[in-house]
Structure 1
């Protein structure tokens, strides 16, 4: 069986992920993501109203024109999880393919919202939910199967998809960390990865997320971040002024911990910002999280400002707003608070908790710097870096290679400089660049079996 892998997006940067795997006459696409930094450098860009070709020219979404070089029919589009760098281009590109979008339940809920907000294209692809541990047949041959393996990441319900072929398995390893004590869901299914590495013809190819490959050691568990967060909030529970927290809106596990610890210090948690409402609301509807009945979620600007007015009237010491803006995004809640554009008045000594780290990219770093300066000018005290990454470090990568023992490796999710530590690790394990270790770029095709 001929097997080719088209590396379409995310092989020269972190963002706009897209990979296509051809097995014989059948093609499966993994991820269709957005490179948010390419959007943020333009003022007031509304991607919902833009044409896909303009977004491709901006470098914001994958250039999928290479798909015409693959001989076969797309049978499925598989987003691995609900982050925008993996689903943000589905509303712009998926309608070009006569194939269902297959994802885990929470991911499909977020994809549906993404498609519903699209104003340029009609995306009518079927949306199919498949849970981790389940599999489906691909194509009509009957000898190719798609399986979902549960992984842990900084968003719930993430999976690594596996294509089983007569030549061996193809494991798409974006994005994950090895977490044995997560907060809201099951640990990563390392047992299944080890089984896949040793059954039938083993693993033909492993495509791996290299975001933190250059960092030594292993990535701590989400339970580590939860303990750090609890310790931080307990340390300021006697403060009688304003306490504000921000984190990734998509990080429902972290949001749920913030809600719980706010209650523990007798403050009323309230979720503010459109994306806060979107992710936590979807997680609650699907039963992934059980938030207290009195936790308000407000996304619309007017309802957010009404809530801020109520907080100021009833006393900041009674509330803990959990807001958007951890990266200093210009229109997010925390940035507006720093600019004095909300009814919430920051005063000298008020606490701002960043339960997130700056995504190491110039646009984000600049925006976050501005946001912190504005907050400090109003007298805010900053509690920073209360976070653990959702990506593997060096020892996690070693564990995955040991579990899967792949014949071929394709590193992804980084620029060429960021891929080099993973290349070093792979070479130390006997792989050779150009033989079975394939460093590639966007728009290339790697032929594994001819």
Structure 2
């Protein structure tokens, strides 16, 4: 059977992931993501109102025109998890393909919300839920399987396309967490089984490949966060926390520790309300009944006024804006655009790291400067990454023993440490180790 892989997006940057695998006459598309930094550098860009070709020209979404070179029919569009760099282009591109979108329940719900907000295209693709561990026939000879992984968002999987020539394992994004705060541990047993059955190709996220050691568990971040928050128990001024709004496990920890130190938690910001509200509705997390979630600007400002009237010392606002996004809640607070007054000595907890990308780094620097100018004390990097470091990559290569490897989710500089590691397993650049760019085709089996 002919096996061909189109590396469409995410092979020159972190963002706008998209890969297509053709096995015989069947094509499966993995991810359709957005490169948010390409949007943020423009003022007041509303992607839901824009045409896909304009977004392609901006470098914001994958240029999927290379798909015309694949001789087969798309049988499924498979996002691995609900982050925008993996689902953010579905509302712009999916309607071009007569294929269902297949994902885990939480991811499907987020895709549904993306499609609902789309103003340019009518996306009518069927939405099919499949749990981790599930399988689905792809044509007559291939099969799709979801393997449970742990990441900085719940309900993440690595999809595996089983073909007569061996398995194609799409390895974006994960960390090796054996003690997660929410959900099940990574299913390393299944990965080892797949390795014994035979892996034709492994496509892997290289984000932290250059960092030594292993990525700590989310339970480590939870202990760090607990230590910081308990140390502030006697502080009688304002404490504000920010994290990735999609990081439900971290939000859960913030909510619990706020209660422990005698503060009422409240979630503020559109994406904070969206992700946490969706997770609670689907029973992935159990928040207190009185937890307030407010996304609309007016309701957020009303809540800030209530906090100021009743006393900042009684509340923990958990807000959007950890990357310094211009319209996010914490950035507005730093600019003095909300009724919440940040005063000398008030604490701001960043339970996140800056995404290492110039736009984010610049915006985060500005945000912190504004907060410090008002007297805020910054607690930074109370976080663990959602991506494998060097030893996690080593374990995955050892478990899967792939015949071919394609590094992804980085630029050329970011691929280099992973290439060095893969070469230790006997893979050869240009032969079995395929360092590629967006828009390229790789023929694995002719």
**Fold shared by both chains (TM-score > 0.5):** yes
TM-score, length-scaled by structure 2? 1.00
What pairs with 1:237-252 in structure 2 (closer than 5 Å)? 237-252=233-248
Deviation at 1:219, TM superposition (A): 0.3
Deviation at 1:235, TM superposition (A): 0.6
TM-score, length-scaled by structure 1? 0.99
Deviation at 1:428, TM superposition (A): 1.5
Greater CA drift, 173-182 or 426-435: 426-435
Match of 1:151 in 2: 149
Pick from 213, 221, 242: which aligns with 2:217? 221
Match of 1:173 in 2: 171
Match of 1:349 in 2: 345
Match of 1:333 in 2: 329
Distance 1:274 1:222 in 2: 24
Deviation at 1:372, TM superposition (A): 0.2
Match of 1:400 in 2: 396
Deviation at 1:255, TM superposition (A): 0.2
Distance 1:322 1:126 in 2: 35
Q: C-alpha deviations, 1:274-324, integer Å up to 9, x for none? A: 000000000000000000001000000000000000000000000000000
Matched, 1:295 2:295: no
Deviation at 1:429, TM superposition (A): 1.6
Give RMSD over aligned pairs.
0.4
Aligned to 1:418, what secondary structure does the other structure show? helix
Distance 1:384 1:293 in 2: 30
Distance 2:280 2:224 in 1: 25
Match of 2:187 in 1: 189
Deviation at 1:125, TM superposition (A): 0.3
Pick from 274, 277, 284: which aligns with 1:281? 277
What pairs with 1:109-148 in structure 2 (closer than 5 Å)? 109-139=109-139, 141=140, 143-148=141-146
Matched, 1:104 2:67: no
Distance 2:370 2:438 in 1: 38
What pairs with 1:194-209 in structure 2 (closer than 5 Å)? 194-199=192-197, 202-209=198-205
Distance 1:144 1:430 in 2: 28
Distance 1:281 1:109 in 2: 11
Matched, 1:429 2:425: yes
Runs of 4+ in structure 1 displaced over 3 angstroms?
A: none
Aligned to 1:109, what secondary structure does the other structure show? helix
Deviation at 1:366, TM superposition (A): 0.3
Aligned to 2:74, what secondary structure does the other structure show? strand
Gaps of 5+ in 2: none
Pick from 306, 314, 318: which aligns with 1:322? 318
Gaps of 5+ in 1: none
Match of 1:448 in 2: 444
Deviation at 1:218, TM superposition (A): 0.3
Aligned to 1:410, what secondary structure does the other structure show? strand
Matched, 1:230 2:190: no
What pairs with 1:354-433 in structure 2 (closer than 5 Å)? 354-433=350-429
Distance 1:296 1:123 in 2: 32
Aligned to 2:350, what secondary structure does the other structure show? strand
Match of 2:39 in 1: 39
Aligned to 2:245, what secondary structure does the other structure show? coil
Distance 2:306 2:12 in 1: 47
Matched, 1:49 2:49: yes
Distance 1:369 1:307 in 2: 27
State the number of aligned residues: 446
Aligned to 1:246, what secondary structure does the other structure show? strand
Q: C-alpha deviations, 1:398-431, integer Å up to 9, x for none? A: 0000000000000000000000000000111211
Deviation at 1:374, TM superposition (A): 0.3
Match of 2:86 in 1: 86
